[in-house]
Structure 1
Amino acid sequence: MKIISFFICTLLLVSCSSNKKVPDNEILKSDFVLAFGSCNRVDLPNLLWDDVLNTKPNVWVWGGDNIYADTDDMVALRAMYNVQKEQPEYKKLTESTEILGTWDDHDYGLNDGGVEFEAKDASQHEFLNFMNVPNDSPLRKRQGVYNSKEYEIDDHSINMIVLDTRYFRTKLTPDTETSKRLKPNEYGIGTMLGDAQWRWLENELNSSKSDFNIIVSSVQYLSDEHGFEAWGNFPHEVDRLAKMISASKAQGVIILSGDRHISEFSKTEIEGMTYPLIDFTSSGLTHAYRNFTGEPNKFRVGEVVFTESFGILEFNFGAKKVDFKIVGDNGIVLEKLEQVYE
């Protein structure tokens, strides 16, 4: 499909930018705009929907914790989803923008929950209803909410790969030795995605011809020192994904994550990849970790944002460039990063 460019952004060079930069005086159109966010309570005001609408995104991506239900009562869960669907500004967004996304523990139904949650199939049904997935969609027959969609823009494309880090995720290891909640499992023990989803993901990456491949993970992939939920609690799965991305030769792989009630950019080099892997965390929409005093993250680029915010990615195919922005109330850009992909 042909996507109409929605707005023009002037390239600003910042300290956390890629080493390869476009000239200061070159004005570039955004060929595609992706907006995303996570951690959204329906009993708290969301002051950001008007700002999301103002970015005129081509797609809105829910990063998880889209409501806070923490329940196996499907009537209560459905009621909360309906409250969110009827929120006036969000309703405007659904009328003008495609909606994609995944879930996390608080809309899945069990805090820090995984494969053991007995109501997960019923919860999946309610989630798919919230996402307006047709009754005859193959997703209705799939275990887990993972899915993908390719967006074609003239001669270019973006492949959205949405993961489910809940349905198959196995037991976590409590940290009884420090003040942290969790510690990494023994290497090789447990899984984030489960066998079926891993096979599906490998095929998605290996078969992709898209200019960019966006992987949506409800929990952080790179940051792994904070002691909360993250891919780092399964270190062998971190390595597996890195090797899979590198071996696939997929172009422009980017990870989007949520969960943490802070927003930040993490970035690393992976052997065999010609560009760095960025994990863009955007959280939360209605409540943030305002008492944040710092935590280690060896992959962090720039500063942590610990006020309510959402994320946008502005794609420019001609320059092979993505502008990443953390946006707060009144459309204020709180942190930004640019990356050129070769």
Structure 2
Amino acid sequence: MGQFGAFGVISGAILILAACQTPTPAPDPEAEHPAGQVAVLPTELLSPPSAEAALELYYRTLPEDFFPRAPRGVSLPGQGDILTRILVGSCLDEERPESRVMQTIAGEQADLFLMIGDNVYGDMNGKGYISNQATLDELRESFSDLAARADFQAVRARLPMMVAWDDHDYGANDAGREFPFRRLAERIHERFWGLENEDVGAWPGTYYARTFGPEGQRVQVIMLDTRFFRSPLTPTDEWGKKGKERYVPSSSEGQDMLGNDQWTWLENQLQQPADLRLVVSSIQILPTDGHGFEAWSRLPAEQERLYGLISETEAEGVVFVSGDRHTAFLYQSDTALPYPVSEITASSINVSFAQTNAEIDSAQLGEGYAPDNFGAIEIDWENGTVRLAIKGDTGETVNETVVPFRTPAAN
């Protein structure tokens, strides 16, 4: 008997259409719906324009209890609230024991916590990568496991949160727009985090922004989606070679990181009034020559497009925030924007791969920090500076930099 009964009638037809993209077993078409109801086959399924469109019709039929939900969290700060300390983290494997980093974060004083990708490992089952069904069973189970964790519950109860996703909570390692089940992954993400009725729930992709604080002390947090619209990366021709470990920069004219709608939205956001702008990307933005893993540098035309857009909109006070790398880093570039710009990479919460990391990028400030960690962004409104700090698992500072976010004329 299938888990969702008569919904298998719909999904069985759809999965035939999707088979050319990702082989997956279909739910049992003979099963009965748990409530005894019979699903009505939408007429659009008789001639869907694409496999993804057919899947989308199926996903619209899924009941609410299909989706896991996070514990109720603390409300975001109000538009007039002044922010002085923001925490950031990424890479939390929900199958591992309770995290000292999460326990430490739950005890920290902060105005906001940014959980910026790989918030679960929903494309793995503890034994390695899996081939997901169209119903993304492992991803949904991973979010359910996250919701049940005491350390996560403690953070939810203490700190307001904003979220972004990366590949492992998107549903497929290193995947972009080619992932055939991305629309269900989006629904899972938005419902788990309670975003389905917000503005982000009204458009494809998971990007959104919020602004906090009065004039002169406004913080804008821009959460980008670097998965849903991203074109495929170019695989390396020398697997594992330093600087070319997985991918090489693309020369394709059709490369895309954000998609047309998100690019237009970002342009509008950068023109909104703000004193400090945190541009959050699940993958790194500034590094160019230190590694060959996922990063904006693998799509160099898109990296330059981002820099150009920030410059053209005259958006000041930009600080980049990223995760993904299983090592924490600080970076600064004097050439990417018309003013020096910094980036903090905070990773990982509990998926450290080593105790040391010898990676060096031309924009890097100090050594990378490989053990479990989180980041802190501390704002000094009086002096117009922001302190970017890498914190160890018990909250000790292991690397930091202080950078201005106002031009001299604005002080």
TM-score, normalising length: structure 1? 0.87
1:62 aligned to which of 115, 118, 137: 115
Distance 1:291 1:169 in 2: 32
- 2:218 is aligned to 157
Distance 1:151 1:293 in 2: 36
Distance 1:175 1:292, change over 3 A: farther
Q: What does the per-residue CA deviation read over 1:35-73, in whole Å, with 9 as the maximum and x for residues that have no partner?
A: 111111001131112221232221111111000011454
- 1:44 is aligned to 96
Distance 2:394 2:197 in 1: 40
Matched, 1:319 2:383: yes
* Partner SS, residue 219 of structure 2: strand
TM superposition shift of 1:302: 1.6
Distance 1:164 1:264 in 2: 21
Matched, 1:102 2:154: no
Identity of aligned residues (%): 29
* Partner SS, residue 300 of structure 1: coil
- 2:142 is aligned to 80
TM superposition shift of 1:96: 2.7
- Paired amino acid for 1:191: D
TM-score, normalising length: structure 2? 0.73
TM superposition shift of 1:154: 7.2
Matched, 1:190 2:252: no
Larger Rg: 2
Q: What does the per-residue CA deviation read over 1:159-214, in whole Å, with 9 as the maximum and x for residues that have no partner?
A: 110000000000111111463211000053411111111111111102x2111111
- 1:310 is aligned to 374
- 2:329 is aligned to 264
Distance 1:110 1:104 in 2: 9
Larger fraction in strand: 1
TM superposition shift of 1:155: 5.0
Contact 2:122 2:143 in 1 (8 A): no
- 2:185 is aligned to 123
Alignment of 1:104-253 (within 5 A): 104-133=166-195, 135-153=196-214, 155-177=216-238, 179=241, 180-186=245-251, 188-206=253-271, 208-225=272-289, 226-253=291-318
**TM-align CA RMSD:** 1.8
Q: What does the per-residue CA deviation read over 1:313-337, in whole Å, with 9 as the maximum and x for residues that have no partner?
A: 0111111011111111221111111
**With CA pairs under 8 Å and 6+ residues apart, which has the higher RCO, 1 or 2?**
1
Which one is further off, 159-168 or 56-65? 56-65
- Paired amino acid for 2:85: V
- Paired amino acid for 2:146: Q
Contact 1:148 1:162 in 2 (8 A): yes
Contact 2:118 2:166 in 1 (8 A): yes
- Paired amino acid for 2:220: N
Distance 2:256 2:298 in 1: 10
Q: What does the per-residue CA deviation read over 1:239-296, in whole Å, with 9 as the maximum and x for residues that have no partner?
A: 11111112222221011111110000111013662x3111211111101131654223
Contact 2:95 2:145 in 1 (8 A): no
Contact 1:158 1:211 in 2 (8 A): yes
Structure 2: tracts of 5 or more residues without a match: 1-77, 124-131
Aligned length: 313
Distance 1:161 1:112 in 2: 22
Contact 1:282 1:309 in 2 (8 A): yes
- 1:11 is aligned to none
Contact 2:102 2:349 in 1 (8 A): no
* Partner SS, residue 311 of structure 1: strand
Structure 1: tracts of 5 or more residues without a match: 5-30
Contact 2:282 2:322 in 1 (8 A): yes
* Partner SS, residue 218 of structure 2: strand
Contact 2:386 2:402 in 1 (8 A): yes
Distance 1:286 1:149 in 2: 28
* Partner SS, residue 122 of structure 1: helix
Distance 1:191 1:129 in 2: 27
Distance 2:197 2:219 in 1: 25
Distance 1:222 1:96 in 2: 32
Distance 1:99 1:249 in 2: 28
- Paired amino acid for 2:112: V
Contact 1:51 1:330 in 2 (8 A): yes
Contact 2:328 2:348 in 1 (8 A): yes
- Paired amino acid for 1:68: Y
- Paired amino acid for 1:67: V
